[in-house]
A and B are shown apart, each in its own frame.
Chain A
């Protein structure tokens, strides 16, 4: 089986991740219940007339995917695989509220067309005229991981050489209200550095798009190797550490051999226990990072975790703000990521230096 490399990344998030020059140099702290992504200069990537018709999720994805392609020095790819937990929420809300408000009259098709979950994958294919394999996964917090798993399988079996994968989700006004009503979003604003100690229900919600070119060919731009990935629809809290050990063992690794553990804590007092369980047992002597307090929780937020891991492996340094414990590794060769949302759809992802 062939190695699978991450050859490039492209990102739009609520941190400085779009441009290389200031990539995660200064970490922005937020104090809110939702954190929107920073808008890049869309004009540099999308003709303004086209951009006007696009919701933020589509625009962020086109920017992130174009940057990823550029950095991998590619015009097109063999396949495009997208993950999105909630899909094109803004257009869904727009079309649905129009149906209700106008009693099914005076509707226009554009928001309906763009509400389809595979709009982003289809738009990117149109943009780069890619007629290859095009899948969209929409499975909660395993949406991005499903895309990663699919791409990895194709590259290992040499069914493709270059695959663009990405995770995208966008915030939308009514859905924010609904998630506040059921306390999936925290009631009151919390400062980023205090999110993990908030001791309250719910998370700070965010949005973003992180795209990657994966390849079975190493090149100068290669950043990391995707060594392994496993997803679980359910996992009882008492099994998390055991599954992590099994996952590492399958890769001939012991928890003590991991240089960094990147966790998906979002400050939800009900569900951070899953992460804390790992952090305080098998991996208590491993350097630990968290990122969701600074970018918010969304179904594909874990794609930012992969972005962070990739950057740590490449630069051998990490933003101090994201560090959760006091341990500092002397080098970063192997990074483990663990993510879940509300106790469902768990994933372990293992990245190596290349």
Chain B
């Protein structure tokens, strides 16, 4: 159970950069990507802040060399950019040389186009090409096409904000079970009026920069992003003499079974997810060197997650931080964004700061890392929690065994 699955490539596009190098540079220079919303016409523009990607859809279309008659949603555009970077990074030139699958995560899918043309669809035939692009699986099919993945195992996971962590988990399990030799795993979610208004009605959007684990936190900033990892079997790594970036060592998914949107006060689901991941990795809590927390900066998440971390780690809590102050909460993509950050942390032996933290939470005494810290890292734990009580933890390691 404790054999890790090799990560051989990664790609990302987020509010703090259009590729892995730009994201890393922003993380270490504390360059946050949170601004006022510019690409969506919403009445809430003056009372929310978001993590937007600079490229317009037109620019993304050009980058991907797509014909103008394409029916890509922004989710598909972003996903294709990040997945292509991951494949390139992994040095893959012939995608069909090995049995290669794609597991992608999304929560909004093609909602950005649906909300634009919802009524217009019925009158304006020129917009109708987007109708069939609404469903969540459509962006995944397009990403597979962009990567040249054919006649293979391709699927989409949507478990709200833990979706991409679950895509990584499924990919690792498929390789372990011998169903695939290679799998591209990750997620993509674009900004939409639908999610802005959804989170607005839940009253968990901050009107200023989000402040994870701060006592005065006011809620989350929504972000848009996509990120993918390439996972390969030991046989492929050996045959191709591939450099391995890190390993997916442990994973766990559990359900809080408490409330459709809120986390239980003591973080039952989160605790179970972290414990399961440790068990799969065959690790003890002391083996974890850094936790990249879910840390959305909502009152409920940070309290529940903090308590769960204390339950799992007791008095020996490793350094932890949330990187959501940089990117905003990228929903279904978050688990993949933070997986890339976890691998970057391992590669560079750095812990990324939990920005915007000022005041210690009253409910407990644990404090996130607030400045960039160099530390030899062997393992990183990454948490992602979502609606429907969905709780996921992935453990990344430098070592396979």
A-side residues, CB < 8 A to B, are 80, 85-87, 92, 95-97, 99-100, 103-105, 107-109, 112-119, 121-123, 125-126, 129-140, 142-143, 146, 149-150, 153, 156-157, 174, 177-179, 181-182, 184, 231-235, 239, 243, 299, 344-345
Contact = CB atoms under 8 A, between A and B. Distances in A.
B197 A135 contact: no
B132 A118 contact: no
Which of B179, B202, B257 counts the most chain A CB atoms within 10 A? Answer: B257
B175 to A, nearest CB: 11
A344 B122 contact: no
B122 A109 contact: no
B136 A139 contact: yes
B359 interface: no
B387 interface: yes
A138 B131 CA distance: 16
Given A118-B158, A126-B260, A182 B115 contact: no
B80 to A, nearest CB: 15
Contact of A233 (B107, B152, B166): B152
9 nearest A-B pairs in the assembled complex, by CB-CB distance? A122-B388, A233-B154, A112-B198, A117-B158, A139-B137, A109-B201, A138-B136, A140-B137, A139-B156
Given A233-B141, A234-B150, A99 B115 contact: yes
Given A92-B194, A113-B260, A133-B254, 19 more contacts: A87-B135, A99-B115, A104-B44, A104-B193, A112-B198, A118-B159, A131-B255, A131-B256, A134-B253, A135-B159, A136-B157, A138-B106, A138-B156, A140-B141, A153-B173, A174-B118, A178-B121, A184-B132, A233-B150
A157 B172 CA distance: 14
Nearest to B177: A153
Interface string B106-124: 1101010011001101100
A182 B132 contact: yes
Contact of B269 (A86, A131, A140): A131
Contacts of B119: 100
Contacts of A138: 106, 109, 135-137, 156-158
A104 B137 contact: no
Contacts of A150: 170
Contacts of B386: 118
Interface string B69-94: 00000000000000000000000000
A131 B257 contact: yes
Nearest to B42: A104
Contact of B122 (A113, A177, A299): A177
Interface residues of B, number: 66
Given A104-B193, A136-B159, A139-B137, A118 B390 contact: yes
B65 to A, nearest CB: 21
B122 A181 contact: yes
A99 B157 contact: no
Interface in B31-53: 42-44
Given A104-B193, A104-B197, A113-B261, A131 B272 contact: yes
Given A131-B272, A153-B179, A119 B260 contact: yes
B377 interface: no
Which of A107, A117, A136 counts the most chain B CB atoms within 10 A? Answer: A117
A86 B135 contact: yes
A153 B172 CA distance: 12
B107 A116 contact: yes
A260 B323 CA distance: 54
Nearest to A147: B155
Nearest to B128: A182
A130 B391 CA distance: 13
Contact of A125 (B128, B157, B202, B257): B257
A99 B197 contact: yes
Nearest to A230: B153
A87 B114 CA distance: 15
Contacts of B44: 104
B345 interface: no
Given A116-B388, A138-B136, A182-B132, A233 B149 contact: yes
B132 to A, nearest CB: 7
B140 interface: yes
Given A107-B197, A178-B121, A234-B150, A345 B159 contact: no
Given A87-B136, A116-B387, A182 B131 contact: yes
Which of A114, A125, A129 counts the most chain B CB atoms within 10 A? Answer: A125
A6 B301 CA distance: 38
A250 to B, nearest CB: 12
A161 to B, nearest CB: 16
16 contacts: A92-B194, A95-B197, A99-B115, A99-B197, A116-B160, A117-B136, A117-B158, A118-B388, A126-B257, A134-B159, A140-B141, A153-B174, A157-B177, A177-B122, A179-B131, A232-B152
A109 B255 contact: no
A348 to B, nearest CB: 12
A242 B3 CA distance: 36
Given A96-B114, A100-B115, A137 B154 contact: no
B349 to A, nearest CB: 33
Nearest to B44: A104
Contacts of B154: 139, 142, 231, 233, 345
B140 A139 contact: yes
A179 B131 CA distance: 8
A234 B151 contact: yes
B390 A134 contact: yes
A98 B390 CA distance: 27
Contact of A104 (B43, B132, B149, B159): B43
B387 A140 contact: no
A123 to B, nearest CB: 7
Contacts of B173: 153
B83 to A, nearest CB: 14
B11 interface: no
A314 B93 CA distance: 49
Interface string B277-289: 0000000000000
A96 B268 CA distance: 33
A132 B151 contact: no
Given A118-B387, A121-B388, A95 B150 contact: no
Nearest to B203: A109
Contacts of B261: 109, 113
A224 B123 CA distance: 49
Contacts of B223: none
A134 B194 contact: no
Contact of A122 (B136, B138, B390): B390
B144 interface: yes
B394 to A, nearest CB: 14
Contact of B118 (A100, A104, A135): A100
